Amino acid sequence: MLELQTLRTLDLEAPSAPGRPAHLAAASGLRRSQDYIYVVGDDELNLAVYAMSDPGPGKLVRLFEGEMSSDEDVQQKQKPDLEAITLLPPFTRNPHGALLALGSGTGETRESGFVWSLGPEGELYGFPRLVDLSPLYDFQQQHVADMNIEGVAITGDRVVLVNRGNSKEGENVAIYLSLEEVTEALLSDFKLDASELLEVQSYDLGEKDGIPLAFSDVDALPDGRLVFTATAEGIPGTDHEDEDAGSAIGVIDQNGEVAYFEMIGDSDIALEGVDARISDEDDSIDVLLCQDADDPDIASPLYRATIPISGDLEAGTGRIQE
């Protein structure tokens, strides 16, 4: 089993609103851009910004209008449910790339995202622009059972989204879009449509202690491999609905096969975000990970882990569906 190193907790200079905690309690996705770490929380209307070189609290920058309620039941109806974030490579009017984040698509308030240009040192530049995901998500819901987008990454000339199959009818699928058409949309009407869709692949990630494992985030390496996290969380209406069995990290190779799959040692950890890069020595994959603490009083932690890649990665327990 892989072991995690805790780097810090995701505390904040100030809460986003009165009655809210001065930390991220539901970190759901992260990306690193040079020294900056950008984290989305599925119960926040803001983006959290941290620096690798600064152990101090992070700061929030506004994404959406309004204020989140401190009542959890009201939050469920309000929140944009940002679950996925990635770095777009340089494109027209964005010479240093941009951040792109997506809502989960599990409700009408969750079909929006944002794009935010980056500066030469990975810093935020300008202001965020809202992205309408409803045309794309409406189309995908006709082909993917119980859509719940949990991760997004850029691999070559494609954008990959992973859907979390953590329901009775849900499916673990990788959804591929045209990067060229996505960036064109971000330069015109800020609306993603079904025309960007290229391919859908289904995955069976196995189970842990009788609970199915489901995608919770994804990132891409320069060679086209995908690094993903998966969680085993109880599904309502099943024998294990009140049980959780932990998280795993996996690698999908360039042929779309799960080539590595390893459970995390601590079964109480629910990983919701991953940022992956090849180490300077080219002998391992270094990953940053965040956890949804699932408790407003507990700050989400930031972890680091290392996946060895000397020789070929051994095949693990995950397999692609036939």
Count other C-beta atoms under 10 Å from residue 268's C-beta: 11
Q: How confident is the model at residue 317 (pLDDT cuts 50, 70, 90)?
A: very low
Query: With b meaning 16 or more CB within 10 Å and e meaning fewer, what string describes 106-138?
Result: beeebbbbbbbbbeeebebeeebeebbbbbbbe
Phi/psi for 249 (5° steps) reads -120, 135
Count other C-beta atoms under 10 Å from residue 82's C-beta: 28
Where in the sequence is the domain holding 101, given as residue range(s)? 5-320
| Distance in angstroms (rounded) separating the CA atoms of residues 319 and 239 | 24
pLDDT of 315 reads 40
Strands 36-41 and 27-33: antiparallel
pLDDT of residue 203 exceeding 50: yes
pLDDT of residue 241 exceeding 70: no
pLDDT of residue 220 exceeding 90: yes
Q: What angle do CA 80, 86, 90 make, to 5 degrees?
A: 125
Q: What is the pLDDT of residues 137-187, one digit of tens each?
A: 999 888 787 889 999 999 999 999 999 987 666 789 999 999 999 999 999
| Distance in angstroms (rounded) separating the CA atoms of residues 54 and 319 | 40
Number of domains composing the chain: 1
pLDDT of residue 105 exceeding 70: yes
Mean pLDDT of the chain: 88
**Average of per-residue pLDDT across 262-290:** 90
| Distance in angstroms (rounded) separating the CA atoms of residues 209 and 256 | 26
Q: How confident is the model at residue 1 (pLDDT cuts 50, 70, 90)?
A: confident
DSSP structural state of residue 171: -
Q: How confident is the model at residue 108 (pLDDT cuts 50, 70, 90)?
A: confident
CATH classification at residue 206:
2.115.10
Share above pLDDT 90 across residues of the chain, in percent, rounded to a whole number: 67
Structure tokens at 169: 């009818």
- The more confident residue out of 5 and 44 is 5
pLDDT of 273 reads 96
